[in-house]
Amino acid sequence: MPEPQHGRRPQERHETDPMAKNTSGRGQRDLKVQVKSARGRKLSSTRWLQRQLNDPYVKRAAAEGYRGRAAFKILELDEKYRFLVPGARVVDLGCAPGGWCQVAVKRVNAMGEKSGKAVGTVLGIDLQEVEPIPGAEIHVIDFLDENADTQVRDWLGGSADVVMSDMAASSSGHKQTDHLRIIHLCEAAAYFAFDVLSPGGTFVAKVLAGGAEGDLQKLLKQRFTKVANVKPPSSRSDSSEKFVVATGFRGIEES
């Protein structure tokens, strides 16, 4: 199986839904944008662009300063499970373009803006350069490298409280192959989390539904006290993605 290329998610565009005046005098309303297929543009690309232009989360991301709509996925997951707390030390695997780091910086009080609250740490790592994010420390590193866990703990000054991943493997165009690739990537992220998490910590990762998640679920249930599978509201209904949220890390098993 080809090695998955983590951290290579295309950056989500911040297009917004245009507002158009209703000339009938009945006020304003959102009008869906119809995108004509340009010469040389694939129909699939046209559909993607039309979906982006009409996506309310794309509009919200632009209005609220997030680098992509994916920011709302981690926001919604944290609203339910409350793992991004002030003072937490967070590692974001495959962090490009940076929306999850942006959310984490605010939630863990990485910039010390919440008076009287503990100040957290946000560490983003990726294979590619990422535009700086205020309050986050970004490094170009492959988390699969042999000593990556040691390096991350050095940067954090200790163990992590949260390891999160929105990584996706490069698409092959074959649904089952892509499913297996992202499960493999998620398993690798989980083993990395085992090496850097402190007891009681949380692991959050994206997976694709497709029937091969059993081994991953079994592995996580052995290492965490609770494992949930969630599809947040901002995840598109036509997408097979879901997120695993594993809480209460049991710690490193004694040999």
- What DSSP assignment string belongs to 142-210? -TTSTTHHHHHHHHHTS-EEEEEE---PPP-S-HHHHHHHHHHHHHHHHHHHHHHEEEEEEEEEEEE-S
Angstrom distance (rounded) from CA 247 to CA 202: 4
Could you give the count of Cα atoms lying within 13 Å of 118 in the half-sphere of its Cβ? 9
* β-strands 28-30, 19-21 pairing: antiparallel
Q: Which residues pair with 165 in a beta bridge?
A: 93, 205
Give the model's pLDDT for residue 13.
38
Amino acid code (one letter) for 151: Q
Domains of the chain with CATH codes: 19-54 (no CATH), 67-249 (3.40.50.150)
Backbone Cα Rg of the chain: 19
206 counts as catalytic: yes
Low-confidence ranges of the chain (pLDDT < 50): 1-37, 48, 254-255
- Binding-site annotation, residues for S-adenosyl-L-methionine: 98, 100, 126, 142, 166
Give the model's pLDDT for residue 44.
52
Give the model's pLDDT for residue 212.
57
Q: Which residue, among 127, 62, 50, has the nearest Cα to 93 in the 3D structure?
A: 127
What is the reported pTM?
Answer: 0.76
Catalytic residue among 32, 42, 206, 242: 206
Give the model's pLDDT for residue 54.
58
Q: Which residue, among 116, 113, 124, has the nearest Cα to 89 in the 3D structure?
A: 124
- Terminal C-alpha separation, the chain: 31
Angstrom distance (rounded) from CA 34 to CA 32: 6
Query: What size, in residues, is the chain?
Result: 255
Give the model's pLDDT for residue 22.
40
